[in-house]
Amino acid sequence: MLFENIRFLDTTLRDGEQTPGVALTTEDKVSIAQKLDELGIDIIEAGSAITSEGERESIKAITAENINAEICSYCRIKNSDVDYALECDVDSIHLVVPVSDLHITAKLKKDRDEVRQIASEVTEYAKDHGLIVELSGEDASRADHEFLKSLYSDGISAGADRLCYCDTVGMLIPEKTREIFSDMSSSLDAPLSVHCHDDFGLAVANSVAAINAGARECHMTVNGIGERAGNTSLEEVIMILEWLYNYDTGIKLEELYKTSRTVSRLTGLPVSANKALVGENAFTHEAGIHVHGLLANTSTYEPLKPETIGRERKIVMGKHAGKSSLKLALKELGLEVDESQLDEILSRVKVLADKGKRVSDADIQSIAETVLEIYREPKVKLEELTVVSGNTVTPTASTKLNVNGQDIVEAGVGNGPVDAAIQGVRKAISGVADIQLQEYHVDAITGGTDALVEVLVKLSKDGKIITSRGARTDIIMASVEAVLNGINYLLDE
């Protein structure tokens, strides 16, 4: 077998939380730890016990949970760090030793021999206190290779259970990674793990290369979060091993997307739309030719079924979409339309797309529901609408409606252009029915200044109250459309 007994250490709660602007509460950390354990992660680096009392409380809260994973704390090469970790009742420590000459001299103000001695002493101290020790070389990719091996050898003699090679600033390339890990995994008598950063976008590639060359553990974070450009992406490594190398990781794949969303929500870090596997667009299709292929066989334009990682396929509408795309999208929304309604929905979608907007599921549903209302043979139709508004002008709307085949022109004034337009509509139909506006609500359901807006209104007539909606890129037109939809509904009663 290419890989054997690979273990996974998740450092979302330690390295991931070092992302600028992220500060997780104890409750957040416990929630993420529980999700990682449910996922099947072997080791959870719950934090760094030396950081603060609050950090220690969070780690203690995690260790108090009924979690199957090994719980780990980050430690510097100081006995005091180990003592704080012991206070938190963790199973193991990630004992990090600066190993490049740059870090040894500039950060520690020591020499190589001193660092080797201290690392061994702290390792022995932690082992004497019953901890599992993963001895980690910080900035290993810029360290002297032979010195690093000697430090690791000393660590093994002192009782280190595992060794970790850290590419702290993302300087490795896959070819060099294979060379390093082939040598170290064959010459050191302890399991070797890999910890990569993504400064050059190679964290995942280097991690997979290391596993390929003998590493038996991989450090990762959910969504690849972490300081600077982030860490190795957990979901990408897992699915590369599972799908491309056919290796059973033991991870519950169907929980990957839920875990990604949980971490994104609790950290406040949005996932890029085009991120592999968990990004919004990963299983989203627009182009008509792609959708046609998907209808024949989903494998035509998908490397794996979205359900594999707990996702769903999405069909979105845009300028490249056709009727087949729209039919499929409407079917998924549980909406049935006839040919004329389909044409009208597609026409509106194209108009919106030509404005540079991507049409979401919410847009389709709102547009479709609006069109379905329109095609109930409306008794009241909008023929013309002119609105005048400004700093020195009272908002005024001139409205021309066709009511039961008769054109009616009215003007309305209001507190703003939307209010004026609605008042104009109400006045125009006043001879037919007394319609009262009970509530008005507007939402932007896409971003940007040219957002598609959805207007919800609650209207009443003779004690009958209904809600209706309108959706346009123009808030005035969306409002009038919502009111007219409601009026037509009430007149049909």
CATH code, domain carrying 403 = 3.30.160.270
Nearest to 120 by CA among 139, 97, 138: 97
Note whether residue 278 is domain-resident: no
Instruction: Report the DSSP beta bridge partners of residue 197.
Output: 231
Note whether residue 279 is domain-resident: no
Task: Kindly give the confidence (pLDDT) of every residue in the chain, 493 residues in length, as a single tens digit, with 9 standing for 90 and above.
Answer: 467 799 999 999 999 999 999 999 999 999 999 999 999 999 999 999 999 999 999 999 999 998 999 999 999 999 999 999 999 999 999 999 999 999 999 999 999 999 999 999 999 999 999 999 999 999 999 999 999 999 999 999 999 999 999 999 999 999 999 999 999 999 999 999 999 999 999 999 999 999 999 999 999 999 999 999 999 999 999 999 999 999 999 999 999 999 999 999 899 898 998 999 999 888 876 655 455 556 556 677 688 999 999 988 776 666 666 777 787 778 766 778 888 888 888 888 887 777 655 565 556 766 887 888 644 567 888 888 898 887 778 889 898 988 888 888 989 888 888 888 888 888 888 877 788 887 787 876 556 666 678 787 778 787 666 667 687 888 888 888 888 877 876 776 5
Element (H, E) at 418: helix 417-428
What pLDDT score does 123 carry? 98
Note whether residue 2 is domain-resident: no
**Residues 382 and 359 occupy one common structural domain:** no
| Matching residue, tokens 């104009």 | 424
**Residues 434 and 311 occupy one common structural domain:** no
Cβ partners under 8 Å of residue 83, min gap 6: none
Domain span holding position 337: 284-373
**Residues 365 and 387 occupy one common structural domain:** no
**Domain with 19 in it: what CATH number?**
3.20.20.70
Instruction: Report the DSSP beta bridge partners of residue 470.
Output: 455
What pLDDT score does 493 carry? 55
Note whether residue 58 is domain-resident: yes
**Residues 18 and 160 occupy one common structural domain:** yes
Note whether residue 289 is domain-resident: yes
**Residues 345 and 409 occupy one common structural domain:** no
Domain final residue pick, 213, 240, 267: 267
| Cα separation, 267 vs 270, whole angstroms | 9
Q: The pTM is what?
A: 0.72
Instruction: Report the DSSP beta bridge partners of residue 382.
Output: 401
Element (H, E) at 470: strand 464-472
Query: If DSSP codes are grouped into helix, strand and coil, which group holds residue 131?
Result: coil
**Residues 99 and 135 occupy one common structural domain:** yes
| Cα separation, 315 vs 288, whole angstroms | 10
What would the pLDDT profile of 85-135 be if each residue is shown by its tens digit? Answer: 999 999 999 999 999 999 999 999 999 999 999 999 999 999 999 999 999
The residue type at 394: T
Phi-psi region of 230 (alpha: psi -120 to 50; beta: other; left: phi over 0): left
What would the pLDDT profile of 121-175 be if each residue is shown by its tens digit? Answer: 999 999 999 999 999 999 999 999 999 999 999 999 999 999 999 999 999 999 9
Note whether residue 273 is domain-resident: no
**Residues 243 and 351 occupy one common structural domain:** no
**Residues 101 and 238 occupy one common structural domain:** yes
Do residues 432 and 403 touch, judged by C-beta distance below 8 A? yes
Domain final residue pick, 232, 267, 302: 267
Phi first, then psi, for residue 468 (nearest 5°) are -145, 170
**Residues 99 and 42 occupy one common structural domain:** yes
Note whether residue 405 is domain-resident: yes
The token pair at 306 is: 């979205």
**Residues 197 and 324 occupy one common structural domain:** no
Length of the chain: 493
Query: If DSSP codes are grouped into helix, strand and coil, which group holds residue 376?
Result: coil
Kindly calculate the radius of gyration of the chain based on its CA atoms and give it in whole angstroms: 31
Query: What's the total number of domains in the chain?
Result: 3
**Residues 28 and 151 occupy one common structural domain:** yes
| Cα separation, 29 vs 47, whole angstroms | 9
Domain final residue pick, 373, 404, 427: 373
Note whether residue 49 is domain-resident: yes
**Residues 111 and 125 occupy one common structural domain:** yes
Phi first, then psi, for residue 269 (nearest 5°) are -105, 110
